[in-house]
Every structure is written in structure tokens, then in C-alpha cells.
Amino acid sequence: MVRIDRRSFFKVSALGLLGGQAVSFEPARADVSATDFGLERRIPLMCRMCDQFCPAVGVVRDGRLVRVESNKHTPYPGVCGRSRAAVGALYSPDRVKYPLVREGKRGEGRFRRVSWEEALDKIALKLKELRDEGEAHSVAYLPRFHSGPELDEEFFEIYGTPNYFISYGDTCWAGATSLGFAAHMGGPKASGIPILGPGAIQPDYENSEYAILMGRNPGGAIVTYSWGVSFGRAKRNGMRVVVIDPRRPAEAGGDAEWVPIRPGSDAALLLGILNVIMDRKFYDEEYLRDYTNADILIDANTLLPVGTRQNGKALDYLVFDKATRSVTFKSKAKDPALFGSFKELIDGKETACKTGLQMLADNAKQFTPEWAESISTVPAAKVIELAENLNRYKPRVVLDRGYRSERYFSSLREKLTMATINLLLGAFGREGGLFWQHPCGLGHFIHAPKPSGQSILDYYIENEPGWILSNPVEGRRTYARSLLEDKPYRSKVAVIHGQNVVGGSAGSWDIAKALNKLELIVVISPYFDETVMNADIVLPDATYLERDEALSTKFKAPIPTIGVNRKAVEPLFESKDGYWIFNQLAKRVLTEEEYAQHYSEFEERGIKAVWEKQYAGIRGVTESERKTIPPLDILLEQGAWAGSKKFYLPQAMGTPTGKLEVYSLLLAETHEKLKNKGYPYAFHASPLPTWTPPRYMGLKPKLEKGEFVPISAFFPLATFTGAQTRNNAIIKEFADIMGGSSVMINPLKAKELGLSDGDKVRITNALDPNKKCYSSVVRVSELIHPDALLTYYSMTTGACMACRQYLTIVSKEGCNPNHVNSLDFIPITAGHPSQDFIVKIEKLS
Amino acid sequence: MKRYLNCYDTHSCVRCFSCMTNCSVENRVRLQRDQHIPSEQTANHPMHHLNYLMPRLKEFGVFPKARQIIEFHHCMHCENHPCLDICPAFAIVKRPSGAVVILEERCVGCRSCIDACPYDVPVYNPETNKTYKCILCFDRIENGLVPACVEACPTGAMFSGPEDEVLKEANERASFYTERYGEPYVVYGAQRLNGYVGRTGWLTIVPEADLEAYGLPQDPVKSAAIMRGPLKVGGAGLAGLTALACTGHFLYWLYNRKLEVARDQEGRNVLEQGAEAGEGTDQGTTSGQAKEENRQEETDGD
């Protein structure tokens, strides 16, 4: 053996040390190459972390979804943080994994696993039985974001129930926003009521100089990311932003202006702005003359037009012609007066009448900035400043239409006044203002016969004054009401698909009680929620990441789009997609002939058959746009097609006069009808500027100690009450840091109640103490109006005790205001007054 | 590769937190790619140390004039990288792009970088005994992709690229906002801030008045770490010599010890043969001894 002395050993080892260092300094990840990223598979998706269908791309590595990106094949590419966290939703340990059948009582959440065969046979047996007994109408279908478009509603239409589609919009946009704008701008009609979809009128942020956001926060609740993209561009282009909100939304940015407002009083502030616009002649006369019915002569007593006649599709109406100084029909008049009060012989009777614009101006006089301040707590000087700024930057101003409008009894008036101001400023249909979306359509796979019989929602529209202008399909809470009243008939089966009817609607437990009257509740859902807890049979739905879907045009971009959703990974556990489920149900329930006619092609050729028919029926695009639509197989690869045309047209869509109606004839007629019926809320439909206070203001003269109006907002990374965001570990990390499940109150109130940050409180309905959320953590903040208590929407299991065992990630602290609210309806639109009540908080020791 | 910059524009950001979520997700992708931990196993667990971009919520003023600032908290990829300089384990390197990266496999968890960082960025995870921070997605940018946060941004509030391009865009935006809103906007980190950090590899477009609010000090230093500077220079030589001497002696001792063990081993083999032959009375002691020596050998093998 060779002996080494100390010195020579040292020499050798020093070399070794150096050599070792040189090699291991190479970082481990430096061997990642471009090829490595190229190994990722990219699958086109339409994101359904919320219900907006934003074009996205799922990235798959080694058979697993690893991330979601935006699809660049649209001019508005962008998906938000919810979308990015899809991995957490897909691989959630808390998914509904197998078909389940209820074991305990409804609401308890005790289930037993069954086979698909058993679950489907059970459902089919009941459906067949009812159909054979002539009771098809007693079945209702309530779908949402994860259904089986082209195959599901059609199944219920063929089956024969007029309640084949009952949607969620009454808890979101379908009342105030839809009607508020449709009353002035028009819209497609259903059951005689003009309705506007949630994307029909869009803000043109990117070309705007000045935006006032009400009922809208730009990050969290900008909702669809074409708007998010456009808003970001607008900020880069130098748009000035004012946010009017009881709490400051962080998403507006540190440099936006915040005007705090008392909850539910936005309409009062807008009436104040309207007052200044009329008083200081900030309106655009030319626009009013060219595009609106501002010149219509109105009977000052009845508030109805003094004379109309049918002229083609639209009504011709009497005006005062300044050229001849006489009353004549608009079509004949040379120079109709925009303003003026007249006493004229109409049909031989002397009638006091005014132009529509004059009526508006006269009635706006009472709503001075000082009056607006007294209701809204926004200083009169600020009201004037807002009006002045609108005037300065018009028509490149966005007085935003807002989102999720069903909040207060005053919500309809808020949107009506918003629409009116947009017309007065000449900002509607102009670049930089609000404009019509230009949507396109697709062909259909199944042409189902229209079921006979009256739908539940149509019954309420016809017979209940409070429902007179409610949306005829968006009415899941009306459905609950009908269950309680057995009107117009007794319902027996509800198939609820991807909707959280219970947790997502004000008056959750009243609704659960209503559902309890049904003989069978089937819920198809990828996740557990309040509604699943009440189900008799639960079917595990595949998420959008696990299914090929029909093409869709639902993405709310300013331009027409067609989106594609392909299967990124195989369905997990025993989940199946809506197409498979409805094909199976059709096989079991429909007659052989019906099945052969409508479903057998799908059975043979699968989703490809659906795509081909949809593709062949593309409509509503311009000729030049059509040339840019790629062949179907390419479209299926690239995942999205987008058109180019924006409609900057100050045009109405089927209003009675065919014009943009500054003076809404729909409202005038409705108001008259309701007045004659003696309906106490008839004034809510007034065609004139009117203050319709939120209900809570009438409940108590003043909020007492510990009482608040429970406002809610979207947390930027969460959405409606699906577990895809609320029970998502990736999102929860950020939610915890940002107090996502806490309740926010102003320090003035906190001091009064001896509360500080981190204290726990119980929240109860001030008028119905049985409705409560047991424990919420308080966050004390200067960023909120003292009257308001903020909860972020759907960040907790709230008062749903049964949900706790199934949703392991979501916060168990916190409050869902729907759980504390009651099943009440906003007059005229039958929306849900989600924030229009009073809660009381008590400190928990 | 040219110097690569990231830029965050506080003005056009809508606070959707897409960037932060995507960063969190991208680090889970890396766990699958580099450590074969599939995404379904990481998707359901919080990984605070792998969120390299985090929000810090701050409030200023009193209702109704109150304001909220959300600071985007992340590594600045300083030109003069005090964290790299202080790291005793040579675990922090600077990539050609300028990205300052902690090499996880080298990190010894001493947290010196935390002491040196004037922005309070690195996060220590006691479970792994390692420290983490943004790596400017160097694996992505060196392969032609943008960092995960930039990829995620739907509004163009976050952008990145070669130094000249990013500086041009950032300066244009800042001067446009300044002119438009009548309030000075600056590009933080574009110019040398001080000798401690130099310029930063992550720029921020921000109203000048809000620099502090956004956690962007004009003179970012960490006094504790600065004290270590002269000590390091003075002590480095001595410490180095001492360390070298110690190591040398240790290795020499080891070498000798090895020889001893080898000798013992020969003797033990003889003993064991004897025990097998049936003289089992002393077996316990013998095997105990052998165990201890085995342990010794394991140590030596290190």
C-alpha cells in the first residue's frame, strides 16, 4: 500500500475539489430545451371556470393537464386567474366521482354509490311514467355552464315539457340590466318581452376617454375576458376611470378615482347626474333628433303618446312640427320640436302634451345634486363634477352597464337611468361608448318540435303583476316559487345540470324547502354544492376539460366568435359528459321513432355529426368575415374564430317606434297597465325619471347598532357558487392572503361594536333571525362605506353544514348572503334582491 | 442571450391575479417535469414557497378618501445581486439573461440571501430546508417563451423581452401617463438605484408618488448585510485560510483513519472466522464492534 504524506495529499484533493465544483455548478434545469416544451400537447378549450366561454388552450404533459393558457386566435386573447387554476378544479379530490343515490333526508348529504345503469334506469322510469300519464309538463330542466348543448334541452322539448329550459339569469343580469337597456334600446322578444342577453350591449373601453363604473369592478367582475383585455388596453390608451361603489374595488388600480356610495342608491346618484345634464344642456341635440324618439308628443296626464299609427313594422307618432307650427306625424314633419309644452286639439279634445324630452327634463328637475347627496351620500359637488366630465369627454364615455344587476328594488331604475343618460350623451352606438354586440349563429343538430302547454314562467308573466316584464326563461327562483304555490300546476321532477339553484339564489333555504316538494330531484354536477345536497340522484358530470363539446358563439367579445372545446384528458373517475348522459336518457325514455329521428346519428358518429351541422349553419356574419372562417377541421385545431366587425350604430332593435327611445313606450304602457290594476309598485315602471328606493330603506328608518346592508362582490379569482373556484387549492392560497372569505366592515362600525381584525361574528337576517351564518372572520377596512358589510361571492360553505364534509379545501368560515336572505322578488323584473335586506352581526366569544 | 427584462405596469393592470396564479401553476409544472411529481398530486396542496409572485394588500388614508394599493411582491433580479454575493454555498447564480436564480440542489438553507435582500423576497421553507424565489422563468425565456406571469397577463400590463425593447416600451408608457394624467409616472429600476442593487431586471411603471406604497424604495439597502461586506473582505482571507487548513487537516486525518480501519478490518476478519468456528462466548461484543466500525466506514465514505 502506497502511503501519501500530508503535503501531496493536499495537492491532489485541491484539484479534485475544483474539478468537482466546475461540474456541479451546472444548474439542473439548464438541460431543459425547447424540445421539452414542444412535447406539450395543446388542446383548444372554452374556459368554464365561470360561464363565459373564454377561448383557452389546455396544455397536457404526460397525459395530465398541467396548465391553461389563452387562445391567441381572437383579437381579445386573455384568460383570467380562475382559468389558470383549472388544474385545481380538474384534479380536485372532492369531485362527484360516481353516480349516487340519496340515503338520508334531503339536505343531509348522505348518499350511496350506484352504477350508471341503476341511476339512469331510475330516472328514465320516472320520466316515462310521467309522460305516459300526460304529465310531461311537470318535469323541468335547469341547465347551465356544463350541460350538453345541442342534445340536452332538445331532449326535454321532444319529451314534451314547456319547462325545458329554466336558467339562472334572474340571479344575475336578466332583470335590471336586460330590461333597463331593452326598454330604451329594444332587443329580441320572447313571450312578448324584449330581452337582451348579457353580452348584447358592450362597453367600448379601448376607445373610450372616460369611464364611470357602477356595479362593476374591472378585474374581478369584468366577467368575460374580452372586456378585461379591452379595459387593460383602455388604461394604456389613457382612459380615466371613476368607480362608484360602496367599497373600493382593488381592481380599479391605485390610481383610479373612487366615489363611495351608500348601498342601493346608485339610481339616486344617476338621477342627480341626469338632472345636471338636462339643466346644463349637456345632451347631444343632433343625436337626439336623428336617432331617438325625444320628439314624441306625450299626454302629460296619462304619460302615453297622444297619437300613434302603424307604419310598417314600427309606430309612427305625433310630433309638433315647428315648420308648420302644428301637430303632425313624425314621418311627415319637417322640423319636429325636441322641447315644448303644448295644448293641442287631439281627436277633437284639447290635450295638455309635451315632447318626451320635455317630460324628461321637467321630471328631472326634482332630482337636484343636493337631493342625490341626501340619498346616496355622494357630495353634490361630486355629482356635478361627474356630469361635467361626461359632457367633456362625450361621446367617448362609458357609463358602464354593469354586471350581476339583480341586487336591489332600485336596480331596474339604476339601469333605466343609465341607458337614458347614454342616449342623452349620444354615447350609445358610438365608438368609445356602448355598442351592440354583433353576434353570429350556428346551425342546430336537432330540430325539436316545440312542446305545447304554458310554461311556468309564462304563467307568472301573464298573471302576476310583479312578473310583468320578467325574463321568460331566466327564472329559477320563480320556479321555486311555483313549487311552493303549486302554480300553474304541480311540478314533480327537476333535472338540474350545472346550476347551484340553492346556493346561488337569494333565499337558499326557502328554495331548498320548495325543491323538497318535488318527487324526484336529479342533479348532474362535477362538484358537490348546496343543490347536490338536496338531490335524490346525483350524476357525476365530466368537466369541460374532459369532453368534446358543440361549437359555441357564447364568448362575449365585441366581434362575433366561434369557440371550440376539445377533450384535454379522459374523464376522471366514473364521470360522463352531458352528451353521453342525454343520449342514454333519450334511448331509455323516447320512443324508438323519436330516438331514430333525433339521436341515432349522434350514437353512430358522435360529436362530429353535431359539429358538421353547426358549421354548415353558420349565420350572421358579413361576407368578408365568412371568407376568413377556416374549414371545420382547421377550426377544430385552432379552437377559435373571430370576426372583425363592430357595430357602431346608434340604432334600436325593435322598439315600438323603431327608434332609440329616450321616452320608453314599453314602460309607459306597462306603467298604465299596472296602475289600472292598482299594483303598489306600478311607479317602478314609470317612463319618467323616478326614484324607486331599495326595499331595505323602507324596512327601518335607520340602520341600528350592528346592522348592515350585505353587499357582495366577486373575488377576482372566484365566481358563482361552483366548487371549481371556491374549493380550489391554488386559488385558496391567494384568497387566504387577501381575506377572500372574511367579511369587511368600516372601522367606525367596528369600533362601535368592539370588533377588530380577525374577530369572529355571527351574521343573521335582521328580520328573520332563523336565517344565519354561524361564524365569519371580520376584516376592518377604510375601503368600505359604514352602512355596508362586504362578503365576496362564493368563497365559503357558509351555512351549508352538509357541504363541509364534501368540500375539504374551501374555507368553513364566512358567509354566503344567499343563505341569510329570503325568497323575495324585485317588482316588474322578478329578479332576486340579493343585497336588499339588513343583516345584524354579533361578536362571537 | 441579451439582458432580458420583465416589466409590470401598475396603471394598466386590472388586478385579476392571473399572473400570480399562473406562476403558482408553472412551478407545479416544473415539479412534474423535473421531479416527476404529477400535477394531480400538487394541484390540491398549498405551496407557498413556490408562489414567486405574491400580492401585498395595503391601505392608505381614511374613508371616504381611502386608497388601496396591491404591491406585487417578487424578486427584482438586481444587477448587483446582493443575495448572490452573500450566498456561502454558491447556490445563487446569474444566468446570461440577468435572471438571478437559486439552485435548489445547492441551497443549504442558511437564509443569508434573506438577510441580504432589500426587498424581503426569498422565502425559506423549513420542510425542505431551502430558500426559494422567482427564477424569471429562465427555463422558459432561454427557450424562446415569455415568463409564466407575462404569458398570463390578459391586459398587457406585464411584458418582457430584450432590454432595449422593454426599456423603450416602459419609458413610452410612463411618459404618456405622465402627460395624460398630469402626474409623474416613473419606471422603477430602469436606472441605477444605488450601488447595492444597481438596476433591476424587473421594472415597474408606477406613479412616482406611490413608489413607497408599492414597496419600491428609492435607496434599497439592507444594513445588516452591508455590515457583512467589510467583514467579508477583511475576514475572507483569514477565514479562507482557516477553513483550508481545517479541511486539509480533516482530510489528512480521514486518510490516516482509513488506513487504520483497513488494518482493523483485517484483524476483525480473523476474529470472525474464529467465532464461526464455534467459540461464541464473545459474539455480542464482536458484532457490536463490527457495527460501530461499519458506521465509521459509512462516515468515511462521505
- Residues B165 and B252 grouped into a single domain: no
- Number of structural domains, chain B? 2
- Candidates B139, B206, B282; CA nearest to A36 is B139
CA distances to A150, A453, A598 from A154, rounded to whole Å, are 7, 16, 9
> Which residues in chain A have Cβ-Cβ distances shorter than 8 Å to B153?
78
Distance from C-alpha of A58 to C-alpha of B25, rounded to nearest angstrom = 13
- Helix, coil or strand: residue A248: coil
- Candidates A245, A185, A198; CA nearest to A224 is A198
The domain boundary residue, chosen from B166, B195, B221: B221
CA angle B26, B31, B32 (to 5 degrees): 95
- Helix, coil or strand: residue A476: helix
The domain boundary residue, chosen from B198, B221, B244: B221
Residues in chain B, total: 302
- Residues B136 and B234 grouped into a single domain: no
**CB-count burial class (<10 Å; 0-12, 13-18, 19+) for A271:** buried
Tell me the per-residue pLDDT of A273-295, one tens digit each, with 9 for 90 and over: 999 999 999 999 999 999 999 99
- Residues B124 and B167 grouped into a single domain: yes
Sign of CA dihedral A500, A506, A509, A515: negative
Q: Does A790 touch chain B (CB under 8 A)?
A: no
Q: Which amino acid is at A390?
A: L
Residue A347 confidence class, pLDDT cut points 50, 70, 90? confident
Distance from C-alpha of A813 to C-alpha of A776, rounded to nearest angstrom = 5
Tell me the per-residue pLDDT of B205-233, one tens digit each, with 9 for 90 and over: 999 999 999 999 999 998 766 666 566 55
Q: What are the φ/ψ torsions at residue A335 (nearest 5 degrees)?
A: -145, 75
Tell me the per-residue pLDDT of B168-208, one tens digit each, with 9 for 90 and over: 999 999 999 999 999 999 999 999 999 999 999 999 999 99
Report the pLDDT value the prediction gives residue B286, as an integer from 0 to 100.
40
Q: What is the mean pLDDT of residues A571-591?
A: 97
- Residues B212 and B136 grouped into a single domain: yes
Question: Which of A32-36, A420-424, A630-634, A637-641 is least confident?
Answer: A32-36
Alpha helices, DSSP H, located in A329-368: 356-364
Contact B178, B51 (CB under 8 A): no
Interface test with chain B among A21, A71, A87, by most B beta carbons within 10 Å: A87
User: What is the value of ipTM here, to two decimals?
Assistant: 0.93
The CATH classification number of A201-438+662-685 equals 3.40.228.10
Cβ contact B93–A27 (<8 Å) = yes
Tell me the per-residue pLDDT of B59-102, one tens digit each, with 9 for 90 and over: 999 999 999 999 999 999 999 999 999 999 999 999 999 999 99
> Which residues in chain A have Cβ-Cβ distances shorter than 8 Å to B32?
61-62, 64, 66
- Residues B259 and B201 grouped into a single domain: no
CA distances to A406, A413, A708, A765, A827 from A410, rounded to whole Å, are 9, 5, 17, 20, 9
Q: Which CATH number fits domain A112-170+447-529+572-632: 3.30.950.10, 3.40.50.740, 3.40.50.1820, 3.90.550.10?
A: 3.40.50.740
* CA distance to partner chain B, nearest, from residue A628 (Å): 24
- Residues B263 and B150 grouped into a single domain: no
Report the pLDDT value the prediction gives residue B265, as an integer from 0 to 100.
65
Whether B278 shows a pLDDT value over 50: the answer reads no
Whether A150 shows a pLDDT value over 80: the answer reads yes
Q: Are strands A743-745 and A193-194 parallel, antiparallel or unpaired?
A: unpaired
Interface test with chain B among A13, A236, A400, by most B beta carbons within 10 Å: A236
Cβ contact B177–A730 (<8 Å) = no
Give me the half-sphere count of Cα atoms (radius 13 Å) on the Cβ side of residue B43.
Answer: 22
Cβ contact A232–B12 (<8 Å) = yes
Tell me the per-residue pLDDT of A85-132, one tens digit each, with 9 for 90 and over: 999 999 999 999 999 999 999 999 999 999 999 999 999 999 999 999
Q: Which amino acid is at B35?
A: Q
CA angle A44, A50, A54 (to 5 degrees): 35
- Which DSSP letter does residue A170 get? G
Distance from C-alpha of A184 to C-alpha of A427, rounded to nearest angstrom = 13
- Candidates A227, A50, A80, A54; CA nearest to A640 is A54
**CB-count burial class (<10 Å; 0-12, 13-18, 19+) for A87:** buried
- Residues B234 and B148 grouped into a single domain: no
Whether A135 shows a pLDDT value over 60: the answer reads yes
**CB-count burial class (<10 Å; 0-12, 13-18, 19+) for B62:** exposed
Q: Does B58 touch chain A (CB under 8 A)?
A: no
CA angle B186, B189, B193 (to 5 degrees): 105
- Residues B262 and B201 grouped into a single domain: no
Among the partner-chain residues B51, B57, B144, the one whose CB lies closest to the CB of A738 is B57
For A187, the grid coordinates are 332587443
Pick the most confident of A39-43, A381-385, B13-17: A381-385
CA angle A533, A534, A537 (to 5 degrees): 90
Q: Residue B75: which domain range?
A: 4-221
- Assign 3-class secondary structure to B225-244: HHHHHHHHHHHHHHHHHHHH
Size of interface A-B (CB pairs under 8 A): 237
Report the pLDDT value the prediction gives residue A222, as an integer from 0 to 100.
62
CA distances to A59, A146, A525, A670, B45 from B26, rounded to whole Å, are 11, 26, 28, 55, 14
Percent of chain B with pLDDT over 90: 70
Distance from C-alpha of A750 to C-alpha of B161, rounded to nearest angstrom = 48
Report the pLDDT value the prediction gives residue B279, as an integer from 0 to 100.
42
Cβ contact B255–A83 (<8 Å) = no
Interface test with chain B among A49, A782, A810, by most B beta carbons within 10 Å: A782
Tell me the sheet residues that pair with A642.
A561
Architecture of domain A698-843: Beta Barrel (2.40)
- Helix, coil or strand: residue B276: helix
Residue B275 confidence class, pLDDT cut points 50, 70, 90? very low
Whether B244 shows a pLDDT value over 90: the answer reads no
- Residues B209 and B243 grouped into a single domain: no
The domain boundary residue, chosen from B221, B250, B268: B221
Alpha helices, DSSP H, located in A425-557: 456-463, 476-485, 508-515
For A578, the grid coordinates are 352531458
Cβ contact A232–B13 (<8 Å) = yes
- Residues B116 and B254 grouped into a single domain: no
Contact A216, A403 (CB under 8 A): yes
Helix (H) / strand (E) containing A243: strand A240-245
CATH of the domain at B112: 3.30.70.20
Tell me the per-residue pLDDT of B1-57, one tens digit each, with 9 for 90 and over: 899 999 999 999 999 999 999 999 999 999 999 889 999 999 998 899 999 999 999
**Strand (E) positions, chain B?**
4-9, 54-60, 67-73, 92-94, 100-102, 123-125, 130-132, 158-162, 185-188, 202-207
Please state the domain extents for chain A. 112-170+447-529+572-632, 201-438+662-685, 698-843
- Residues B99 and B213 grouped into a single domain: yes
- Residues B24 and B161 grouped into a single domain: yes
> Which residues in chain B have Cβ-Cβ distances shorter than 8 Å to A232?
12-14, 154-157
Segment 137-196 of chain B within 8 Å of chain A by CB: 138-140, 142-145, 151-157, 173, 176-177, 180-181, 183
Report the pLDDT value the prediction gives residue B230, as an integer from 0 to 100.
60
Q: Residue A458 contacts by C-beta under 8 Å, 6 or more apart in sequence? A: A162, A191, A472
Report the pLDDT value the prediction gives residue B234, as an integer from 0 to 100.
64
Contact A586, A599 (CB under 8 A): yes
> Which residues in chain B have Cβ-Cβ distances shorter than 8 Å to A27?
93, 101, 103
Pick the most confident of A203-212, A242-251, A340-349, B263-272: A203-212
Q: Count CB atoms within 10 A of the CB of residue A577.
A: 25
> Which residues in chain B have Cβ-Cβ distances shorter than 8 Å to A61?
29, 32-33, 39
Tell me the sheet residues that pair with A353.
A299, A342
Distance from C-alpha of A779 to C-alpha of A456, rounded to nearest angstrom = 43
Torsion of CA A364, A368, A372, A378, to 10 degrees: 130
* CA distance to partner chain A, nearest, from residue B200 (Å): 23
Q: Count CB atoms within 10 A of the CB of residue B195.
A: 9
> Does a cis peptide bond (omega within 30 degrees of 0) precede residue A395?
yes
